[in-house]
Amino acid sequence: GAGDMFRAYQDMREANYVGADKYFHARGNYDAAKRGPGGAWAAKVISDAREFWQGGVSGRGAEDTAADQEANKWGRSGGDPNRYRP
């Protein structure tokens, strides 16, 4: 699961496309959760830690954090990541 999350992050950095971050959040969580309960757990832990840092330390704000977490949960629950594709 952690590898799926890292791969989605790398792809997001490579794409460097404004407004695409929610897609990559959903896709990383989706791919990790497909691996089973351990993958879903890893995706949740990584997503929560990232959003804690992003919302508190980086100053991006609660609204962006909430939108990211919505995409994270959508992907983890088996929702199609393309819902967030720009």
- State the DSSP code for 60: -
Q: What is the pLDDT of residue 57?
A: 64
Q: What is the DSSP letter of 58?
A: S
CATH of the domain at 2: 1.10.132.110
What total number of domains does the chain contain?
1
Q: How far is 79 from 86, CA to CA, in rounded Å?
A: 16
Q: Where are the alpha helices (DSSP H) in 1-86?
A: 2-15, 21-33, 37-56, 62-76
pTM of the complete model = 0.88
For residue 46, give the nearest of 16, 75, 19, 78 by alpha carbon: 75
* Beta-carbon contacts of residue 61 (< 8 Å; ≥ 6 apart): 55
Per-residue pLDDT tens listing for the chain (86 residues): 999 999 999 999 999 999 899 999 999 999 999 999 999 999 999 999 988 877 666 666 778 889 999 999 999 999 999 999 99
Determine the structural domain holding residue 1 and report its residue range.
1-84
